[in-house]
Chain A
Amino acid sequence: MTAVAPTSAAEKPVEPPPAQRKLRRNLTPWVLLLPGLLWLVVFFLVPILTSVSASVQQGDYDDGFKLTWHWANYADAITKYGTQYLHSGIYSVLCTVLCLALGYPVAYFIAFKGGRWKSLLMALVIVPSFTSFLIRTIAWKTILADNSPLVRTLSDLHVLKITTALGWTVGDHVLASPAAVVCGMVYNFLPFTILPLYTSLEKIDPRLHEAGHDLYCNTFTTWRRITLPLSMPGVIGGTLLTFIPAVGDYINAQLLGNPNTGVVGQKIEDLFLRNTQGYPVGSAISVVMMVGTLILVMSYIRKAGTEDLI
């Protein structure tokens, strides 16, 4: 009797009963998921909740902050920083539109005319990103400096007079102006637009173009009626991948702008790191900003109708 029991127990793990196997199959994904998801919950979701609570606190670093349901923080967050919200909004929308306008021809060219140079050209799009983006953004200080060939040419052509009249540049300088900020943003986010655009353009069968031509469409009509609709997933993905980081970006505004080009991100950093009482209002601004971004992104996705973003 006792001799029989161990052998059956030893055989069991090799061939577990169906119920046990089913349990294991149901548990395995969660064992795999849990550590990573836990990390995201603790260090992404919980912080957002903490900052929602922080946004209605009062106090300073020395005495600590207390939860006083001080909703006036939100009133401050929304009313005091109107210009910064406006700048963030204008710059990020402008940046997204320009990135699309510049990125589409490049992605189109690489996808359909790239031939055997395709992968090399795509590498050229990505390779610069491996140099620190701060160093690359600061390089624009050299390119847009007052004595640089580019700026001198623009000045000689009287272009700067027009742009200054429009408020894009300041006097004879391109640096430290809204134009420089947007230029830096477009430069930084262009690869994020090109990559998804290229992915969706590359999937399009070039024979569809021939079909369009056979049916007497000119190149533009073929693009508008065939290529553009088929590349919509790339357009949506590209604009989102550009717009979301652009809204929060304050690197370009800080490095290439002037005190009049302030954006929301700079204010949040100021309030958190250089203001002993600013942390609740800073939290309130980031809550407002995140809710705003999420609403915009969700409504955009719903309108554009793409569900599978990842």
Chain B
Amino acid sequence: MTTVTAPPAARPAAPTTTPKARRRSPMAWIREHTLLAVTVVIFVFMLLPNAVILWMSFNRPVGKFDYVWHQFSLDAWLNPCANNEMCHSIGLSLQIGVVATIVATILGTMIAFAMVRYRFKARSGVNALLFLPMAAPEVVMGATLAALFFNTIGPGGLGFWTITIAHVMFCVSYVVVTVKSRLAGMDPTLERAAQDLYATPAQTFRHVTLPLVAPGIAAAALLAFALSVDDYIITVFTAGNLETFPMYIWGSVQRAYPAQIDVIGSLMLLGTMAVIALSQIVGRARTARR
């Protein structure tokens, strides 16, 4: 009885299934899930260090170096600035990051507009000049900039402004690429419509173009800021006696590696995740309102 009632559901489907599906064997199952398994393993590889950083931020290390787990403690989280030097270097990195981001975003956005909206000679030359800073090894850019600064202002002149100049230099190309892709994907008819409605070029730019490109500019600024704050190699060549946060971390590998560094590392991750979650929520709310 039961054998009669069960098949009808399966029978009509049988002729349409492909030959492959009929030969479902354990091998096929493995083959189908290999890609998934490989992907999961690689994701673990990519995310493991962040998990370790979070874990080690709650550690009370035995010696000077927070490399091996010893004991749970909230010390580092309760006194993130126990080491004054570290917080000072973070402040410096943030200052440089903000100034470099503002300058690089303005310069890069202007270039992006010129590249997408205008025809001009020497376009390929400009392209090459923009591509080269992304293609040159960082250590070469750092060393050559150091050579320039040594020759012009001398080793004593290195400091805040030389670091900032260097950061703007390597951020501009990335800003151009990011803003350019946003501009190129924009519908040109929207601007024409504004002009048909008697908007002046300035009004069109302010009320139509800028709001449309703004996400691209924001993304570019975020990228520039991340690149600037995280840069070590070029910075070390242009910093003189100053110590940015990456330089502080580098030095701590030789001196002492406090758990506080892992606290900052965790905060960076949690902060980024919060920003992404917030932008998702805002974006969803905005689409819902429409």
Contact = CB atoms under 8 A, between A and B. Distances in A.
Interface in A119-172: 123-125, 127-143, 145, 147
A106 B42 contact: yes
Could you say which interface size class chain B belongs to? 35 or more
Given A33-B114, A36-B107, A248-B233, A290 B265 contact: no
A127 B276 contact: yes
A128 B226 contact: no
Q: For B177, B229, B253, which residue has the most chain A Cβ atoms within 10 angstroms?
A: B253
A81 to B, nearest CB: 13
Contact of B265 (A105, A131, A248): A131
Contacts of A272: 143, 146, 237
Q: Chain B's interface: helix, strand, loop or mixed, by majority?
A: helix
A134 B140 contact: no
A309 interface: yes
B83 interface: no
B68 interface: yes
B16 interface: no
A286 to B, nearest CB: 4
A29 B120 contact: yes
B205 interface: no
Given A123-B276, A131-B265, A139-B56, A43 B49 contact: no
B148 interface: yes
29 contacts: A30-B114, A32-B118, A36-B107, A36-B110, A44-B169, A50-B151, A51-B143, A109-B36, A110-B39, A124-B47, A125-B46, A130-B271, A131-B265, A131-B266, A133-B230, A135-B262, A135-B264, A141-B67, A145-B67, A244-B137, A255-B253, A269-B139, A269-B236, A273-B237, A282-B143, A283-B144, A283-B147, A293-B136, A310-B134
Interface of B: 31, 35-36, 38-39, 42-43, 45-50, 52-53, 56, 67-69, 107-108, 110-111, 113-114, 117-120, 126-127, 129-141, 143-148, 150-151, 155, 165-166, 168-169, 172-173, 176-177, 180, 226, 229-230, 232-233, 236-237, 245-246, 249-250, 253, 257, 261-262, 264-266, 268-269, 271-273, 276
